[in-house]
Amino acid sequence: MKIGELSRRTGVSVRSLRYYEQKCMLASERTAGGHREYPEAAVDRVVLIQQLLAAGLSGDKIAGILPCMRDHDGGPAETATPWLVEQLAAERARIDRSIKDLLYTREVLDEVIAAAEG
């Protein structure tokens, strides 16, 4: 599929898709005319990249971990290094702290709403 179709199917801008390719997070083939062609699996890859970005991981970190993750099509993943496992554990701990902070903030808001209502 061409880049425009991948953009439409994933809701990700063409500019972002080019960035993902530049960072080696996404791969395409070039047609004889020089246009990018993406395989069907690129849709799942872009969705995964978006999920990782939403979790707060940087593009560089995502580029480092994608080769160690299985694609949705069951393609093989390289073995994660101890360094990568350590980095992922640190990211998970950061996300856990963010969740805890958000839950506390929600509790405070609930208290303010309850006080205002009643």
Ranges of beta strands (E only) in the chain are 29-30, 36-37
Q: Who contacts 58 (Cβ-Cβ below 8 Å, separation ≥6)?
A: none
Does position 42 have pLDDT exceeding 90, yes or no?
Answer: yes
- pLDDT for the residue numbered 83: 79
User: In this structure, which amino acid lies at residue 114?
Assistant: A
Give the whole-angstrom CA distance, residue 36 versus residue 74.
Answer: 24
- pLDDT for the residue numbered 76: 47
pLDDT-derived band of residue 56, with 50, 70 and 90 as boundaries? Answer: confident
Lowest mean pLDDT segment, chosen from 26-30, 69-73, 74-78: 74-78
Give bridge partners of residue 29 from the DSSP assignment.
Answer: 37
Q: Who contacts 110 (Cβ-Cβ below 8 Å, separation ≥6)?
A: none
Mean pLDDT of the chain: 88
The more confident residue out of 93 and 85 is 93
Give the whole-angstrom CA distance, residue 6 versus residue 74.
Answer: 20
Both tokens assigned to 41: 């699996």
Residue of 87, 83, 16 lying closest to 56 (CA atoms): 87
pTM over 0.75: no
